A and B are shown apart, each in its own frame.
Chain A
Amino acid sequence: MNFLRKQLDRVKPHFEKGGKLSRFHSVFDGFETFLFVPDKVTQRGSHIRDHIDLKRSMFTVVVALIPALLFGAYNIGLQHYLAFGPEETGLDGSVTSLFIFGIIKVLPMLVVSYGVGLGIEFFTAQIRGHEINEGYLVTGMLIPLTLPIDIPLWMLGLAVAFAVIIGKEVFGGTGMNILNPALTARAFLFFSYPSWMSGDLVYVHGLVDNPDVVDGFSGATSLALAAAHDISSLPSASDMIIGTIPGVVAETSVIAIGIGALILLVTGVGNWKIMFSMIAGGYLMGLLMNLLAVNAFMELPAYYHLIMGGFMFGAVFMATDPVTAAQTETGKWIYGLLIGILTVLIRVLNPAFPGGVMLAILLMNVFAPLIDHYVVEAGIKRRVKRAAA
């Protein structure tokens, strides 16, 4: 690695202030710090610092997403195979062939997401003269994983640009945004191109172009079926937990997401309070729906809400985004609980949007500062009271 270091040291002066390439300083810095942890030592304050940095934290989240991504790739192949059969697809139905088929479909989405997103990040960091922030490593992965597989790549690129520029950079970049950038991208597509984001055809590769399927196959997601009160067609709970059902790329498997959750919780990078309270909120609201049930959807066992649609993915990877979630510890409980409650509320009582998780999280993103405000005010009141006593 000495050779690489020497090469970097050789070109480095050009990128520093006054160098002929100084306008690419942020880009150079981004690459350099990617390759080498800098030699900077503490000058003030604590002499030693934890080995954790933002790169490591963000990378941990990316690792946590990998099980869901891998299973998603397999499931894309599987759903395609189930829909069209061996002759039409030319697949032999083995796990490997289905996985390879799926990963070939997913990779271009990842490439576009990272390409466009990081491009904009580098550009804005350069304009501002900032260091490049690692936040997009996670966002860039989250966006494709929450979209239907057949979404045109240009739409994906557009959504990424919208999310990064309007959702994040205009607020001042990573750490300053109000809305979860990945969900901003998804919401942008959801409302701009609804025909690509909902319905019974978009979740299985090939259905949009060719709705001719094997008899008895339906590309509808479990949520869509439940919303149509077609409970008898719902996949079994075990299928929903394993994830061999139609859905967006990586939301289907509770197990794969659960592995990711475990990684986040064991490393301490993800917040367990938000995950737990959101699941509790969803379950409690499911129970309440059971009590008030007037239709088949409301009668659905409460735990179904947790394993259907994007609930788990949202709880583990979206609601826990530290920047857009509530910042106070008490606030996190309230924030998670309300997301869970709202998700089920939107799903069951609003016929237009079966996918309630995205809207619930975005809504609570907006309210998170308000929750924090009241929590902090309560703390201030405690202090005033103490002084008076």
Chain B
Amino acid sequence: MPEVIKLKKGLNIRLKGEADKILSPPVKAVRYAVRPVDFHGLTPRLLVRAGDSVKAGSPVVEDKFTPELRLTSPVSGTVKEIVRGERRRLLEIVIEAVGDEYIDFGKGDPAAMSREEIEKRMLESGVWPVIRQRPYHIVARPGVKPKSIFISGFDTAPLAPDYDFIMHNSDCSLFNKGIEVLTRLTDGDVNLVLDGSNVSGSVMKGIGGVKIHFVKGPHPAGNSGVHIHHIDPVNKGETVWYLNLQDVIVTGALFSEGRYRNDRIIALAGSEVMKSGYHRIRCGASIEGLVKGKLRDGGGDLRYISGNVLTGSAIAADGFLGFYDNMITVIPEGNRYEFMGWLEPGLNKYSATRSFLSTLLPGKKFIMDTNYHGGERAFVFTGDYERVLPMDIFPKHLLKAILVGDIDKMEQLGIYEVAEEDFALCEFVCPSKIEVQTIIRKGLEMMIKEMS
């Protein structure tokens, strides 16, 4: 038996609406978008104008400070619209897909290429941003040699897709090619972390070129941040990279086919989805066609989320799949008052505490809406964050250090190792309704500024 890292802390939210394991035929989308807001640590400079025609792989946005870092169009077509938010913040570059033209970056054998060539190829094709780094949970900085690379082979987030199912339906040769590429980027290990609760059944345990680890436990046991913390922790001055499983395939496709082809399989899940399942889709596609006819028609408002319910981003009903997301979740909005709601016995109210009667239904799955279920208050209770954070970190102390802007303390308390997604459950369980993820992000931004 291989060694399994067992984590006790964490929480599997018993949310209703897991996706059925059925792979549907692909739905072609017309509109696609590049969303610079998906990329932390990137200061976008727009390279196209509305009306420009682009090919798959054409640069659309570059980073102001590292111009070789660029975002490229996932499809060929015409730039339809540039959407800006408050203070002209660049939100979306909408592209209408026409034809199937792509820029040929040339096939390549990673074993025969130098590290610089590989890096350059990934940067110019727009594949590079699939790699992110700790510290700071930002797009990996080019030119840095990480001490190791992590790939998470399972996702423990609520309603998350089953990676084994996805891999079963994916092109394994592209994955292997991707691994080959990654091993050239670091002198350390490329670590593939698999679900320790299914050691024998894993599709991926035979994959070569990587060091395989098993981690077992409730969410966030599938987060790369947690894996890195337990396997090869980030100390000051060190960098570790990580990427999503399917982005390894995207990387492999670049070198096998010479093109930027960001296709993936995503799950459509959530309590408001009647016909859930898995779909092949290209990154950045509008979800309009995907969700059409598959939702419950209850009359209430719906929240469409690109990603999971803890860390995903809210999008419009015809919004776009985010760059790092592998699922679309649809849940009810909670924009209604509830009379004496806090006093109810709460048979259908899920809580991580056992203060509602729902505790008596251990197997039940719950529908949850987007209501806060209470007002924001000061920190009062303690121990609740610690129970859902499987890292050697003092969450409240770190948060308070960020709130007062104490850089030294943040560093000492482990800010380099965390990302907001690792704290998502703290935010979920918080009875004081504190915006934990926002605070963590603020702390990370502060550190970036301080260190640059």
Query: Contact between A52 and B352 (Cβ–Cβ < 8 Å)?
Result: yes
At the interface, yes or no: A126 with Cβ under 8 Å from chain B? no
For chain A, the bracket of interface size reads 35 or more
A36-B337, A60-B355 known; A271+B370 contact, CB < 8 A: no
> A31-78: which residues lie under 8 A (CB-CB) from chain B?
33, 35-42, 44-57, 59-60
Given known contacts A41-B370, A45-B435, A175-B380, is B337 in contact with A51 (CB within 8 Å)? no
With contacts A47-B370, A327-B382 taken as known, whether A131 is within 8 angstroms of B392 at the C-beta atoms is no
Selected from A46, A57, A372, A387, the residue in CB contact (under 8 A) with B355 is A57
Q: Does B414 contact A (CB under 8 A)?
A: yes
Which of B82-90, B186-194, B286-294, B342-350 sits within the interface? B342-350
Q: Is the beta-carbon distance between A54 and B334 smaller than 8 angstroms? A: no
Cβ of B431: which chain A residues have Cβ within 8 Å of it? 50, 52-54, 56-57
Most chain B beta carbons < 10 A, residue from A49, A60, A266, A323: A49
Interface check B397, CB cutoff 8 A:
yes
Determine the residue in chain B with the shortest Cβ distance to A133.
B377
Within B89-121, which residues are at the interface with A (CB < 8 Å)?
none
Q: Is the CB of A380 within 8 A of B380?
A: no
Q: Which of B334, B355, B429 contacts A269 (CB 8 A)?
A: B355
- Taking CB atoms, residues of chain B closer than 8 Å to A88 are none
Instruction: Provide the residues of chain A in CB contact with B373, threshold 8 Å.
Output: 37, 49-53
**Interface of chain B: mostly helix, strand, loop or mixed:** loop
Answer yes or no: A4 CB below 8 A from chain B CBs: yes
B338: which A residues are within 8 A, CB to CB?
36-37
Cβ–Cβ contact A36 & B339, under 8 A: yes
- B355: which A residues are within 8 A, CB to CB? 52, 56-57, 60, 267-269
Q: Which residue of the partner chain B has the closest CB to A5? A: B337
Tell me if A282 is interfacial: C-beta within 8 Å of chain B: no
- In Å, the complex CA distance between A267 and B431 comes to 13
Q: Mark B409-450, 1 if CB is under 8 A from A, else 0.
A: 000111000001000100111111101111000000000000
Instruction: Give the nearest-CB partner of A389 in chain B.
Output: B235
B427 touches A54 (CB 8 A): no
Alpha-carbon distance between A55 and B297 when the two chains are bound, in angstroms: 33
Cβ-defined contact, A48 with B374, below 8 A: no
CA distance A376 to B380 in the complex (A): 19
Quick check: is B216 within 8 A (CB to CB) of the other chain? no
Q: Of A36, A175, A269, A372, which is within 8 A of B379 by CB?
A: A175
B173 in the interface (beta carbon within 8 A): no
Q: How far is the CA of A50 from the CA of B309 in the complex (A)?
A: 12
> A59 touching B343 by the CB < 8 A rule?
yes
How far is B371's CA from A322's CA once the two chains are assembled, in angstroms? Answer: 26
CA distance A372 to B378 in the complex (A): 19
Select which of A50, A271, A376 is within 8 A of B413 by beta carbon.
A376
Whether the Cβ atoms of B339 and A51 lie closer than 8 Å is no
Q: Is B203 an interface residue when CB atoms closer than 8 A count as contact?
A: no
- In the assembled complex, B15 has its CB within 8 A of some CB on chain A: yes
With A56-B355, A59-B342 in contact, is A51–B375 under 8 Å at CB? Answer: no
**Nearest opposing residue in chain B for A267, CB measure:** B355
User: Which of B158, B235, B393 has the most chain A CB within a 10 Å cutoff?
Assistant: B235
Scoring A53, A323, A332, A380 by chain B CB atoms within 10 A of each residue's CB, the highest score goes to A53
Whether A44 lies near B380 (C-beta < 8 A) is no
Residues of A within 8 A of B305 (CB): 47
**A206 CB to nearest chain B CB (Å):** 38
The answer, yes or no, to whether A20 is at the interface (CB within 8 Å) is: no
A52 and B15 form a contact (CB under 8 A): no
Q: In the complex, how many angstroms separate the beta carbon of B396 from the nearest chain A beta carbon?
A: 6
Residues of A within 8 A of B233 (CB): 386
Task: Judge whether B65 is part of the interface by a CB distance below 8 angstroms.
Answer: no
Residue in A49, A268, A329 whose CB lies within 8 Å of B371 = A49
Assess whether A33 is in contact with B375, with CB atoms less than 8 Å apart: yes
A1 within 8 A of B: yes
Cβ–Cβ < 8 Å partners of A268 in chain B: 353-355
Among A255-297, those with CB < 8 Å from B are 266-269, 271
Interface residues on B, range: 35 or more
Q: Please state if B371 and A173 are interface contacts (CB–CB under 8 Å).
A: no
Residues of A within 8 A of B383 (CB): 271, 322, 329, 332
CB-nearest residue of chain B to A326:
B382
- Whether A379 sits at the interface, judged by CB under 8 Å, is yes
Q: CA A36 – CA B339 in complex, angstroms? A: 4
The answer to whether the Cβ of B176 comes within 8 Å of any Cβ in the partner chain is: no
Closest to B342 in A: A55
Q: Is A325 an interface residue (CB 8 A)?
A: yes
* Identity of the chain B residue whose Cβ is nearest the Cβ of A321 in the assembled complex: B380
A263 and chain B: residue at smallest CB distance: B355
- Chain A residues near B382 (CB, 8 Å)? 271, 322, 325, 327
* Contact of B380 (CB < 8 Å), options: A45, A54, A328: A54
Whether A40 and B371, one on each chain, are in contact in the complex, defined by CB atoms closer than 8 angstroms, is: yes
Rounded to whole Å, the gap between the CB of B378 and the closest CB of chain A is 3
Contact of A176 with B by CB under 8 A: yes
B368 sits at the interface (CB 8 A): yes
**Distance of A271 Cα from B394 Cα, bound (Å):** 17
Chain A neighbourhood of B339, CB < 8 A = 1, 4-5, 35-36
How far apart are B237's CB and chain A's nearest CB, in angstroms? 8
B370/A48 in contact, CB under 8 A: yes
Contact with B along A78-121 (1 / 0, CB 8 A): 00000000000000000000000000000000000000000000
The interface residues of chain B lying within 8 Å CB-to-CB of A386 are 233, 235
Asked whether, in the complex, the Cβ of A45 is within 8 Å of the Cβ of B377, the reply is: no
A115–B329 alpha-carbon span in the complex (Å): 47
| With A322-B380, A329-B383: A41-B337 Cβ-Cβ less than 8 Å | no
Query: Is B39 at the interface (CB under 8 A from chain A)?
Result: no
A39-B392 in contact (CB<8A) = no
- Contact in complex: A41, B413 (CB < 8 Å): no
B158 partner residues in chain A, CB cutoff 8 A: 48
The chain A residue with its CB closest to the CB of B356 is A51
CB of B167, distance to nearest CB on chain A (Å) = 27
Q: A48-B15, A325-B382, A376-B413 are in contact. Are A53 and B375 (CB under 8 A)?
A: yes
* Chain B residues within an 8 Å CB radius of A174: 377-378, 380
Residues of A within 8 A of B394 (CB): 328, 376, 379
Q: Whose C-beta in chain B lies nearest to the C-beta of A173?
A: B378
Measured between alpha carbons, how far is A387 from B336 in the docked complex, in Å?
50
Residues on the B chain within 8 Å of A60, using CB: 355
Which chain B residues (155-200) contact chain A, with CB distance < 8 Å? Answer: 158
Distance between Cα atoms of A335 and B353 in the complex (Å) = 23
> A228 CA to B94 CA in the complex, in Å?
85
Which chain A residues border B303 with CB–CB below 8 Å?
41, 47
Q: How far is the CA of A47 from the CA of B308 in the complex (A)?
A: 9
Q: Which residues of B contact A329 (CB under 8 A)?
A: 383, 386
Ranked 3 nearest A-B pairs via Cβ = A53-B374, A175-B378, A37-B341
Contacts A/B (CB < 8 Å), 7 sampled:
A33-B375, A47-B305, A49-B371, A50-B350, A52-B356, A57-B353, A176-B378
